[in-house]
């Protein structure tokens, strides 16, 4: 009976050691990537901003050019500005979904 207790105790200690080692590894990785994530966040914010702004401005510019060539009742500038905005928001949504998926997969790999 004494041997059984010693064996269980050794197993518990081994399991505990693995858990502590895994937590320490996650903590070290988080500390190494802390500055990376801050810059990554700023870069992502800029990327998302530009992915909305560029199509919106291109739509407005094209609409303005069309209004100067073909004046009339429908405002091409307004219509293409809104179309550019919708395209830009969709583009930004795709970027965010892609990065979110990548971060989730990375977290799952770390947890395993």
Range of the domain at 73: 38-111
106 shares a domain with 56: yes
pTM of model > 0.75 = no
44 shares a domain with 89: yes
pLDDT average per 10 residues of sequence, the chain (112 residues): 58 80 76 65 81 95 93 89 96 89 77 62
Task: Report pLDDT for 7.
Answer: 61
2 shares a domain with 51: no
107 shares a domain with 55: yes
106 shares a domain with 58: yes
54 shares a domain with 5: no
11: exposed, middle or buried (Cβ count in 10 Å: 0-12, 13-18, 19+): exposed
- Contacts of residue 75, Cβ cutoff 8 Å, sequence gap at least 6: 63, 67
Report the C-alpha gap between 51 and 90 in whole angstroms: 9
Task: Report pLDDT for 108.
Answer: 74
Q: Are 58 and 84 in contact (CB under 8 A)?
A: yes
92 shares a domain with 52: yes
* Distance from the Cα of residue 111 to its chain's centroid: 19
Our count of domains for the chain comes to 2
Task: Report pLDDT for 63.
Answer: 94
44 shares a domain with 26: no
49 shares a domain with 10: no
5 shares a domain with 48: no
């Amino acid at each position: 009976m004494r041997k059984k207790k010693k064996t269980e105790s050794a197993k518990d200690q081994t399991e505990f050691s693995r858990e502590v080692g895994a937590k320490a590894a996650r903590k070290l990785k988080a500390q190494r990537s802390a500055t990376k994530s801050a810059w990554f966040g700023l870069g992502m914010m800029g990327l998302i901003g530009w992915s909305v702004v560029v199509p919106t401005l291109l739509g407005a510019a094209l609409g303005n050019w069309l209004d100067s060539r073909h004046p009339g009742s429908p405002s091409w500038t307004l219509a293409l500005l809104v179309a550019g905005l919708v395209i830009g928001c969709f583009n930004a949504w795709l970027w965010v979904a892609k990065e979110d998926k990548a971060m989730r997969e990375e977290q799952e790999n770390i947890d395993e």
